Structure 1
Amino acid sequence: MLAAGAAAASGCSRLPPAEAEPSALAPATTVSLPVPRAPVPAVPVPRVPVPVGAVTAIPGPGTSLALTVDDGADAEVVGAYIRFARDTGARFTFFVTAAFDGWRTHRAALRPLVESGQIQLANHTWDHPALTAISRTAAAEQFTRSKQFLLNTYGVDGTPFYRPPFGYRNADIDAVAADHGYTVPTLWYGSLSDSGLITEEYLLECARTYFHAQAIVIGHANHPPVTHVYGQLLDIIRERGLSLVTLNDVFRT
């Protein structure tokens, strides 16, 4: 059972609305494609109704971990995540910021995983503005453009899950999102804190802090360090007896 409370002493980002600034900056590095690993077992779980309001964790007892991946600012990192999923069977929910080119570049590799349900796509707006700082009309356009892109490119529209950039949302934004079918604001329990460039060591510290049963954890396809530690992330998941799930695996919608 996940406990609510203050952020862990490690300093890794936990609570929405805003992610913490990286505490350990890393030099620029190159993407390292994951080495094939033993498959991650997919453990079927009973699906439950989506709770009312924002989702921050998977309800009830269990051993599921929802690792959700945002943005996609680095096309090579998007590609590395896709290969990670393909090589290991890992299940992810990608919150797509549709303006980033990686979602076009890797369509041919990603679409079969979307069609099989191994990777789920959800809406993270068109180009990642702080939705509470723009007009309702501009916010509506963010959802319209990203929804149309997902539908045209992958045959799904990402409903009903949306993640507000930076976690910034209010009743008006939730209403605009719901008008487009995005009725489930999806936040998180803990973060890999890699929206900006951080060291591999700090990223793994955050994974050890937040990879727990029934957690929703946020990562980002923005910078290469995560591509260097896929093996270590899998080791943490296996050591703790966790199974990776998509949000659709967990929730009836």
Structure 2
Amino acid sequence: MLAAGAATAAAAGCSPAHGEVALPVEQGGAAAPPPPPGPPPLPGPPPPSARVPVPAGAVTAIPGPGSNIALTVDDGASADVVGAYIQFAKDTGARFTFFVTGVFDGWTTHRAALRPLVDSGQIQLGNHTWDHPDLTALTATGVAEQFHRTKTFLHDTFGVDGTPYYRPPFGYHNSTVDRIAADHGYTVPTLWYGSLSDSGLITEEYLLECAHKYFTAQSIVIGHANHLPVTNVYGELVDIIRERNLSMVTLDDVFTVPSAA
């Protein structure tokens, strides 16, 4: 169990789905046996009655007891990795929160595949700025533009605006950034408890080492849709989640947020 707010922003750092196919039949013989079934989908989210109010301030973990894990995926620098994460979700039932950096074209490339998952709530979108600057180094106008451009992009592309969750690039934010974010509807700066450390290129072995370390109950874990190694270990990530009896959740699956006045 993790206490929200007690954890700090740490290291910054699939079986394919197929339709039915005709089975080959030997002339005068029986049909070939069907292939063995794939693994069952991952557990679904907890019931809405289990949601808790989002804590004040920056969120780093899911408060209270439970067996949830929120795997949050940032950036989207690689269209191939964005597409692979979408397929991962389709194949396994995995639930993600994607923090979108609007400048990357992978989000537009995969709009048709991603939009139904957003509509169903299996994948949630949040704001990760337009082009990933250090927000604390910008003018107030510059900060506002970062939130506004990605909010508009999300709305126009996916029909949602990502509020109230935003992730500051590098985890850097201050009271001024938070105030401007809130002016745009982003009242919840979302940090993390642990990281897959894959914002840059790392080995598959190191990524799995990070997953073994940080895939724990009630954790918020950060990953990135930037480099291909993660796409080669989806099966191993699912194995860790199953072995630890964790349920993958979006932020909306576990939090309630007060309505705007």
Instruction: Tell me the TM-score normalized by structure 1.
Output: 0.89
- Verify: 1:2 aligned to 2:28, yes or no: no
Unaligned segments of structure 2, at least 5 residues: 17-37
- Could you say which residue in structure 2 is the equivalent of 1:50? 54
- Verify: 1:127 aligned to 2:120, yes or no: no
Unaligned segments of structure 1, at least 5 residues: 7-13, 21-33
- SS of the equivalent of 1:132 reads helix
- Could you say which residue in structure 2 is the equivalent of 1:103? 107
- Could you say which residue in structure 2 is the equivalent of 1:136? 140
Q: C-alpha distance in 2, partners of 1:176/1:150?
A: 18
- Asked if structure 1 preserves the Cα contact closer than 8 Å seen for 2:61 and 2:219, the reply is yes
| 1:43 Cα deviation after fit | 3.7
Q: How big is each residue's C-alpha offset from its partner over 1:92-129, in whole Å with a ceiling of 9 and x where there is no partner? A: 00000011000000000000000000000000000100
- Could you say which residue in structure 2 is the equivalent of 1:19? 12
- Could you say which residue in structure 2 is the equivalent of 1:26? none
Question: Which structure is richer in relative contact order (CA contacts within 8 A, separation 6 or more)?
Answer: 1
Superposed, which structure 2 residues align to 1:88-99 within 5 Å? 88-99=92-103
Q: C-alpha distance in 2, partners of 1:149/1:17?
A: 29
- Could you say which residue in structure 1 is the equivalent of 2:213? 209
Change (3 A) 1:17 1:209: closer
What amino acid is aligned across from residue 106 of structure 1 in structure 2?
H
Which of 183, 199, 208 is the aligned partner of 1:195? Answer: 199
Change (3 A) 1:173 1:167: same
Q: How big is each residue's C-alpha offset from its partner over 1:1-42, in whole Å with a ceiling of 9 and x where there is no partner? A: 2279x9xxxxxxx8427724xxxxxxxxxxxxx543521111
Which of 156, 165, 168 is the aligned partner of 1:152? Answer: 156
Superposed, which structure 2 residues align to 1:176-195 within 5 Å? 176-195=180-199
Instruction: Tell me the TM-score normalized by structure 2.
Output: 0.86
- Could you say which residue in structure 1 is the equivalent of 2:233? 229
- SS of the equivalent of 2:151 reads helix
Q: C-alpha distance in 1, partners of 2:15/2:222?
A: 22
- SS of the equivalent of 2:59 reads coil
- Asked if structure 1 preserves the Cα contact closer than 8 Å seen for 2:10 and 2:195, the reply is no
Q: C-alpha distance in 1, partners of 2:11/2:2?
A: 20
Q: C-alpha distance in 1, partners of 2:80/2:253?
A: 27
Change (3 A) 1:208 1:86: same
Q: C-alpha distance in 2, partners of 1:222/1:236?
A: 22
Identity, in percent, stands at 74
- Could you say which residue in structure 1 is the equivalent of 2:30? none
What amino acid is aligned across from residue 42 of structure 1 in structure 2?
G
- SS of the equivalent of 2:206 reads helix
